[in-house]
Structure 1
Amino acid sequence: MKTVLCYGDSLTWGYDAASLDRHPLKDRWPSVLQATLGGGIEVIAEGLNGRTTAFDDHLAGADRNGARMLPTILMTHAPIDLIIIMLGANDMKPWIHGNPVAAKQGVQRLVDIVRGHDYPFDWPAPQILIVAPPAVSRTENAEFKEMFAGGDEASKRLAPQYSALADEAGCGFFDAGSVAETTPLDGVHLDAENTRKIGQALAPIVRVMLEL
């Protein structure tokens, strides 16, 4: 049995901007990935609304710093064969940093944590697949428009930054924006169709990386 850990934010959690609730389990991209891959593999979703790559956000009642939480999550689900990291959208908030280079550095920190973690029982570190989230889009939603001010342009530069990092670090890479786009309802989240597209598109990449 192979284990795949999906480490992300509200796009992985399954936030639905239309209902202001959560997408049905079957529509969330980790579930679609699981269904597409079939048996012999377990796909675990670890999504948290507002999670950043490696930066603090003191406006929430949970720890949104992806780097600080990652060691605990690695131990919770070990042994892991592949970790899929799709983070960076929340880094585009101006009060976080709003800078794609800083987001790249945050993902680099996550890669270092995954590879440098002290795994028990001589378990090897998992392979890493870095996924750039779909770019923030323009919206008439006043709250999200201010929350992600400037994020539409900044987030377009995440994919090339992450691709370069993947090459440097020897990780897999996928640009989720090549198959999915954010909803104009808030400019950040995904409707059911687009979150499904990500799960479907990742399946062949996961098969290759895990030699399935």
Structure 2
Amino acid sequence: MRKTIVCFGDSNTWGFAPELQPEDESYFGRYPEGVRWTSVLQEMLGTGYRIIEEGLNARTSIWDDVTWPDRNGLTYLRPCLNTHAPVDLVILMLGTNDLKVRISGYTPEIARAAGVLVKAIQSGNDGPEGNAPKVLLVSPILVGEELETAAPDIYDELGRENARKNSKEFAKYFQAQAAQCNCYFLDAAKYAEPGPVDALHLDAANHRKLAVAFAEKVREIFQESI
């Protein structure tokens, strides 16, 4: 039977393409299918899997953001899984927007928030035969060194010089949270990095690199379950 995988994340799951943004900011430019890591993952895994894209620009883990309404990941997570049930695996990659100083800006707290999401998934019955889905918790890619010059407004939002330093701590704390929650873990920063346009979002080449890493991990997860 085909495996259903929900990819729940922010703009790097949605496919935000900084080089495709219009000057008047009238809409968000998005990489097309075949470029986004989610659709590349679908191609790599084949017809035995169904990849569901659930990315949203500016999504946080558990916090409301007054400047971006309806971005709280926790409030949408369970309805999302109810919609797509039965779900075999959730790939959960959030945290970068939580670096904003008005939201959290504190990496250990951000990792704990990710753990809240994992536990929300594990406490549900949205998996096969009324069980909970498996969870792959992903620590996000790093904030790029060029963020200050590439995107100064976002640089300020993310705590200026603390942005990259805090993102470097993602893997340590997210891995510890995954161990505590007894779920799978992947460090996205080992495989991909932000593109040069805004030093925050994946470019086309890095979408593919991340898809390769996810494909290998997904095969490992389901091979272990056989």
Give TM-score, length-normalised by structure 2: 0.89
- Seen in structure 2, the aligned counterparts of structure 1 residues 176 and 121 have a Cα distance that, compared at 3 Å, is closer
- Seen in structure 2, the aligned counterparts of structure 1 residues 119 and 30 have a Cα distance that, compared at 3 Å, is closer
- Unmatched runs of 5 consecutive residues or more in structure 1: none
- Counterpart of 1:130 in structure 2 is 137
1:74 counterpart = 2:86: no
Q: Which has the higher contact order (CA 8 A, sep 6+)?
A: 1
Please identify, of 68-77 and 180-189, the stretch whose mean Cα deviation from structure 2 is larger.
Answer: 180-189
- Seen in structure 2, the aligned counterparts of structure 1 residues 122 and 40 have a Cα distance that, compared at 3 Å, is closer
Give the deviation of 1:187 after TM superposition: 2.1
**Separation in 2, partners of 1:192, 1:166:** 28
Instruction: Report the count of equivalent residues.
Output: 211
1:56 counterpart = 2:57: no
Q: How does 1:1-212 map to 2 (within 5 A)?
A: 1-20=2-21, 21-61=29-69, 63-119=70-126, 122-138=129-145, 139=147, 140=149, 141-148=151-158, 149=160, 150-211=162-223
- State, as a whole percentage, how many aligned pairs show the same letter: 39
- Seen in structure 2, the aligned counterparts of structure 1 residues 121 and 5 have a Cα distance that, compared at 3 Å, is closer
Please identify, of 112-121 and 18-27, the stretch whose mean Cα deviation from structure 2 is larger.
Answer: 112-121
Please identify, of 67-76 and 110-119, the stretch whose mean Cα deviation from structure 2 is larger.
Answer: 110-119
- Unmatched runs of 5 consecutive residues or more in structure 2: 22-28
Give the deviation of 1:168 after TM superposition: 1.6
For the 8 Å contact 1:179–1:198, the answer to whether it is kept is yes
**Separation in 2, partners of 1:203, 1:118:** 25
Give the deviation of 1:33 after TM superposition: 0.9
- Seen in structure 2, the aligned counterparts of structure 1 residues 171 and 75 have a Cα distance that, compared at 3 Å, is same
Give TM-score, length-normalised by structure 1: 0.95
Aligned CA-pair RMSD:
1.5
Please identify, of 120-129 and 21-30, the stretch whose mean Cα deviation from structure 2 is larger.
Answer: 120-129
For the 8 Å contact 1:144–1:186, the answer to whether it is kept is no
**Separation in 2, partners of 1:132, 1:121:** 26
Give the deviation of 1:126 after TM superposition: 0.4
SS of the residue 2:137 aligns to: strand
- Seen in structure 2, the aligned counterparts of structure 1 residues 144 and 125 have a Cα distance that, compared at 3 Å, is same
Give the deviation of 1:58 after TM superposition: 1.5
